[in-house]
Amino acid sequence: MNAAGESRQVGWKDKPPPERAWRGRQGRTRKAIVAEQDRAAGGREGRYVKRENGDYALASITLKLLPRTRRIRAYLRWSENGRSPALYVGEVEHVTRAANLEQAWQIAKDRGMVGERPLPEGSWASSPAARSSMRGNRGRDTTPELRIRSLLHREGLRYRVSARPLPGVRRTADLVFTRARVAVFVDGCFWHGCPDHCRPARTNSDFWRTKIEGNRARDVQTDQVLASAGWRSIRIWEHEDPVKAAGRVAAAVRDFAARDDHKIP
């Protein structure tokens, strides 16, 4: 048995292995293919191969059936200078594709054919896995942001996305209602120090504490700068109920319309 509980078939003497042992499902999206490789490799961080020029490329495992011998071979593939090199990894012998991919990745790791990319010089991250997680955090179009935008658009309100409320001032809001002078910020719980959900980092704790405190101080300064220019800042935590959060924003925008007898489109 392997980690996934799949039985192993040592050789295929009497008949070819079933297609499910090596062939991928037809019609899969690129996202599904990437996710399959990540699962089999135990995470994307360990899927890198060193190129001839010293750089690192994200590799994938390809399974190929040899009809005459009834054996399944695994090859490591990646992109390099417009080519797609194939490096033989070894034979696999499970009855499912998932188990064979997992076995092939383990062979490649044991032989030192793949591994993690070294951290770039000066990187803040404590490990390649931490850096990958940091890079995965979007600066815009996060799920809470998109949900709030959808609700406000449904209410008939229009806004600018990821824009600077004040020309010449390097402060970017997630949503900007220019006529109503309302700037909306959807803050991530970790990066902005949410009192309910932000937990101290276990590695590089001093660095992250300073970083988050700096972000919070910058948030306060941003709100003050906008207030001085006659703007209203609305800050929404990513964990907040999007319906209630969108309601706060809509009320602020419509309050401007009622107060100054303006019509907000």
What pTM was computed for the model?
A: 0.50
Every domain of the chain with CATH number 3.40.960.10 lies at 138-260
**What is the Cα 82 distance to its own chain's centre?**
26
Is 19 or 199 the better-scoring residue by pLDDT?
Answer: 19
- Which tokens go with 173? 């809001």
Q: How confident is the model at residue 92 (pLDDT cuts 50, 70, 90)?
A: very high
pLDDT above 50 (res 125): no
Alpha-carbon span 250 to 157, nearest angstrom:
8
Amino acid letter for position 221: Q
Q: Which CATH superfamily is domain 138-260 in?
A: VSR Endonuclease (3.40.960.10)
Q: What is the average per-residue pLDDT within 114-131? A: 57
Alpha-carbon span 80 to 87, nearest angstrom:
13
Write out pLDDT tens, residues 222-257.
999 999 999 999 999 999 999 999 999 999 999 887
Give residue 62's pLDDT. 96
Helix (H, G, I), strand (E, B) or coil at 40: helix
